[in-house]
């Protein structure tokens, strides 16, 4: 592995902040597109590839629209979010084998809505995360807008039940995690993330909680009685999932000492201390320095004999934000990020996954994927759009536990502030690129799109949470049930009309 380089910080505040934010807001408006004549969401990138019409950056991706919808909610632009949610619901698959699955992306072409459930992607893999995000966004919409009637409506409740059918059904194994193939979430090219990857499990936890909140809205009659059973089952599942993940995915320096000395090859009825039969030899040495004394994180995956110890930023941030981690565990995670800042933040916060796979491992496990070269794209690349979930996790912690470890939280907040300036100073010059390459994340990604929507809106969300209204982080609290949520009032940016067709290049 390439040794870490000393961090050269570009953290100067920028007197052009207001101008840059206003320019980003204008760009964001241009990403919004209409479906059936009404704004429905954002395309993935403003600059789509002119030579290959099969490339789909001009479509409305569900996952890319997560920060878009959150930002629109914070702006009080509820009809757009409602239209987006309705379209997704309408496109929820009714096919026998994929019933209940939400599409990866959709687009309106000559008056017809065309949806992709994975059948048009390179690896022909369905995006599991898109389906898991829908209830989370739906519940956030209900909370922010106070539109409880929509949440309790038969259409929404049916959508929730169809999705739960996919998750809560009997299977060949008894763990509460969701098994998925490689490439089924944001990491949508081979990266050896099949099985029970953390990002899907953290999101599943948030999804199940949101489904519970939505089901709780059904108060009366036959429907309420039927929902009640599902509600109990979902609550139990959520609890079991949390217990399972904290037991098998959470590691610290202390737990590592225990894990390395556990017996192996145990079978039979006795209580096993090593249920997944993990041999101590598979525990990588880099973990020693990575964990330091008081750091902790959720590992990337647990599979019999083959845990994945890589660090995945989004799964960890969501685990913290959605309250899967306890307060002390959240602080151990922030300590770990601070300690490994030269890797995880470097010149362009934040790295997607660490460490990258190189050499034979890259060849065997990615199938020589030319986009996932070491230090590029999903394989150790830096994605500016991954900073806001981490920032939200930190701000949520500070709100819920204002007096816990003030020193650590102060340092974490300072780091965030510096990361914000790094993005603000670089992203406009780098044309709001999709991702960045190399051990320090300095180079624009080799095949990165420019004017990528979630880079733009991720920065705007970060600006909103750090500089404008930190209290709006409350929107992510999936345990709070009071509606409508009192979001802060701030002067909304000028709203321009959404474009009819995806803008193609020409910036
Ligand atoms: C790439 C990313 C995926 C994203 C899509 C659209 O395929 O890997 O996560 O949703 O681009 O931006």
Q: What number does the ligand 1 atom closest to the CA of 449 have?
A: 12
108 backbone dihedrals φ, ψ, rounded to 5°: -95, 125
CA of 297 to the centre of ligand 1 (A): 25
Are the beta carbons of 35 and 83 closer than 8 angstroms?
Answer: yes
133 lines ligand 1 (CB under 6 A): no
Is the CATH number of domain 28-261+281-488 3.30.2420.10? no
Band of pLDDT at residue 225, cut at 50, 70 and 90: confident
Q: CA-CA distance, 495 to 75, in Å (whole number)? A: 10
Q: Is the pLDDT of residue 28 over 50?
A: yes
Express each pLDDT in 305-346 by its tens digit.
Answer: 999 999 999 999 999 999 999 999 999 999 999 999 999 999
Distance of alpha carbon 440 from alpha carbon 406, whole angstroms: 29
Residue nearest to atom 4 of ligand 1 (CA): 186
Closest CA to 48 of 57, 36, 38, 59: 57
- Provide mean pLDDT across the span 43-50: 76
Q: Which atom of ligand 1 lies at the shortest distance from residue 56's CA?
A: 6
- Whether 380 contacts 355, CB under 8 Å: yes
Residue written as token pair 């390395």: 260
pLDDT at 221: 78
Confidence of residue 506 (pLDDT cuts 50, 70, 90): very low
Distance 170 CA to ligand 1 centre (A): 31
User: For 330, how many CA atoms within 13 A lie in the half-sphere containing its CB?
Assistant: 27
382-391, 419-428, 448-457, 484-493: the lowest-pLDDT one: 484-493
Question: Mean of the pLDDT values across residues 289-317?
Answer: 97
Confidence bin at 487 (pLDDT 50/70/90): confident
20 has a pLDDT exceeding 90? yes
Would you say residue 9 has pLDDT above 80? no
Q: Cα–Cα distance between 269 and 284 in angstroms, integer?
A: 30
Whole-angstrom Cα distance, residue 161 to residue 214?
A: 11
Atom 9 of ligand 1, nearest CA residue: 186
Taking residues 44-67, report their average pLDDT.
80
Instruction: Give the residue whose CA is nearest to atom 6 of ligand 1.
Output: 44
| Ligand 1 centroid from CA 186, angstroms | 6
How much of the chain exceeds pLDDT 70, in percent?
93
Model confidence band, residue 264 (pLDDT cutoffs 50, 70, 90): very high
* pLDDT confidence band for 496 (50 / 70 / 90): low
**DSSP structure string for 113-175:** EEEESSTTSTT----HHHHHHHHHHHHHHHHHH--HHHHHSHHHHHHHHHHHHHHSS--SS--
Q: How close is the Cα of 450 to the center of ligand 1, in Å?
A: 13
Q: What residue ranges do the domains of the chain occupy?
A: 28-261+281-488
């Amino acid at each position: 592995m390439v040794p870490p380089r000393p961090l050269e910080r570009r953290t100067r505040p920028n007197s052009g902040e207001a101008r840059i934010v206003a320019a980003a807001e204008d760009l964001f408006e241009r990403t919004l597109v209409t479906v059936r004549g009404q704004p429905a969401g954002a395309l993935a990138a403003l600059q789509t590839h002119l030579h290959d019409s099969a490339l789909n950056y001009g479509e409305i991706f569900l996952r890319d629209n997560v920060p878009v919808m959150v930002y629109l909610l914070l702006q009080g632009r509820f009809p757009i979010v409602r239209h987006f949610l309705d379209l997704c619901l309408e496109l929820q698959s009714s096919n026998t084998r994929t019933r209940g699955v939400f599409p990866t992306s959709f687009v309106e072409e000559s008056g017809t809505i065309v949806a992709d459930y994975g059948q048009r992607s390179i690896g022909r893999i369905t995006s599991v995360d898109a389906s898991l995000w829908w209830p989370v966004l739906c519940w956030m919409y209900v909370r922010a807008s106070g539109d409880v009637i929509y949440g309790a409506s038969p259409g929404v409740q049916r959508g929730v039940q169809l999705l739960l059918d996919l998750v809560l059904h009997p299977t060949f194994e008894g763990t509460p995690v969701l098994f998925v193939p490689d490439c089924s979430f944001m990491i949508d090219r081979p990266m050896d993330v099949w099985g029970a990857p953390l990002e899907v499990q953290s999101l599943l936890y948030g999804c199940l909680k949101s489904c519970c909140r939505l089901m709780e809205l059904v108060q009366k009659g036959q429907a309420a009685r039927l929902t009640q059973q599902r509600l109990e089952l979902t609550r139990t599942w959520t609890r079991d999932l949390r217990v399972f993940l904290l037991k098998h995915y959470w590691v610290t320096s202390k737990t590592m000492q225990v894990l390395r000395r556990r017996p192996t090859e145990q079978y039979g009825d006795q209580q096993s201390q090593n249920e997944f039969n993990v041999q101590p030899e598979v525990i990588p040495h880099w973990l020693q320095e990575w964990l330091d004394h008081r750091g902790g994180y959720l590992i990337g995956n647990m599979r019999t004999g083959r845990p994945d110890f890589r660090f995945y930023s989004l799964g960890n941030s969501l685990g913290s934000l959605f309250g899967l981690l306890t307060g002390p565990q959240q602080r151990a995670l922030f300590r770990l990020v601070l300690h490994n800042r030269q890797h995880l933040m470097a010149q362009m916060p934040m790295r997607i996954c660490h460490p990258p796979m190189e050499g034979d491992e890259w060849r065997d496990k990615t199938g020589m994927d030319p986009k996932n070269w070491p230090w590029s794209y999903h394989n150790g690349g830096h994605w500016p759009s991954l900073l806001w979930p981490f920032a939200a996790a930190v701000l949520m912690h500070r709100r819920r536990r204002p007096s816990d470890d003030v020193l650590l939280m102060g340092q974490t907040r300072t780091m965030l502030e510096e990361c914000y300036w790094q993005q603000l100073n670089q992203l406009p010059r780098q044309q709001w690129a999709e991702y960045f390459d190399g051990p320090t994340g300095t180079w624009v990604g080799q095949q990165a799109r420019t004017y990528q929507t979630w880079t733009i809106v991720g920065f705007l969300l970060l600006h909103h949470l750090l500089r404008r209204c930190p209290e709006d982080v409350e929107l992510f609290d999936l345990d709070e049930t009071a509606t409508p949520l009192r979001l802060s009032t701030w002067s909304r940016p000028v709203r321009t009309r959404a474009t009819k067709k995806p803008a193609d290049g020409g910036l």
